[in-house]
Structures are given as structure tokens and as C-alpha cells.
Amino acid sequence: MSESTRRQPLILVLHGPNLNLLGRREPDIYGATTLDEIDQRLSHIAAEHGVELSITQSNYEGALVDQIHRYGWIAAGIIINPGALTHYSIALRDAIAAVPSPAIEIHLSNVAAREPFRHHSVIAAVARGTLTGFGATGYEMALHYLLDTIRQDGKANGD
């Protein structure tokens, strides 16, 4: 379906660097859930609510920026785990700030309880909110928030 003929609301899900290693990478910090399992859960919830997801994982900053540029104008929201880009990617921050879609920042671990360099997020200032430390469930929490927002917007528009 082309972007101009889309009938279902769309939510963009972005996974940053190293998240493709979930389930194997430091499971004591990030858990045993794989990225595929997270994406499957999100897809199932979205399908139950008649919402389409566009899901991308990339280890490259520019690929994530490109997805925000492509979908940030039409998506009902963005769920983003920027990974290490959280702490220094002004390009990612500026892309989120440039588009009207509300972004929810996700971190599997509680970054405030980790190394000091992880305590600052350049993304947080342009995100609607940030969920940290809830593991894979944080993605689902973000999706439910955006689903509630879609439902409220639909009621406000007389749908």
C-alpha cells in the first residue's frame, strides 16, 4: 500500500545499534528476549488494534534518520530505542524534532543506574516521553500509549 493510500494508522518502530544482538548480548543487562520476539509482540498488538507498523533495526545512524524523514510526517507515532546513539546523535535528535510524529524513547535497562556516560540523552528533550528499565515490556508500554493517543485523536475528530 502506498503512503498516500494508507487507511490504517502507522507507527514507526526504530531499533538502534547492537539491538540486533538482543538475547545474546549481555543478557544480565538486556534480558534474554530477542529483537525478533519484541517485534513479533508489537506486531501482534498492532494487528489487534488495526495499526500498521514499520519496523527497522540499523547499526547506522543515517538509516534511522532516513526512516524518520520518510515516516515522521505520516506516522501516528515513533517508538525508538536509539541505543548508544542516545548519548551523542544530534542528527537523530534533530530528525525527531523536525517531524510532527510524537516519539517515545525506549531503553531496556535503567540507564540512570548504569555508567555515568549513559545518564544523558540528547533524544529525551524532543521525545514525548522516555521509558527505561522495563526490559522488552517498555516497547509494549510505548505502543499502548500511542494506541491510546490514536484512539483519543479519532474520538476528537468525530470518528
Q: Where in the sequence numbering do the catalytic residues fall?
A: 30, 107
The torsion region of residue 23 among left (phi > 0), alpha (psi -120 to 50) and beta comes to left
In degrees rounded to 5, what are phi and psi of residue 30?
A: -100, -5
Q: For residues 136, 140, 49 and 145, what is the CA-based torsion angle, rounded to 10 degrees?
A: -160
Beta strand 77-81 with 52-57: parallel, antiparallel or unpaired?
unpaired
The number of residues in the chain equals 159
* Sign of the alpha-carbon torsion through 111, 113, 117, 123: positive
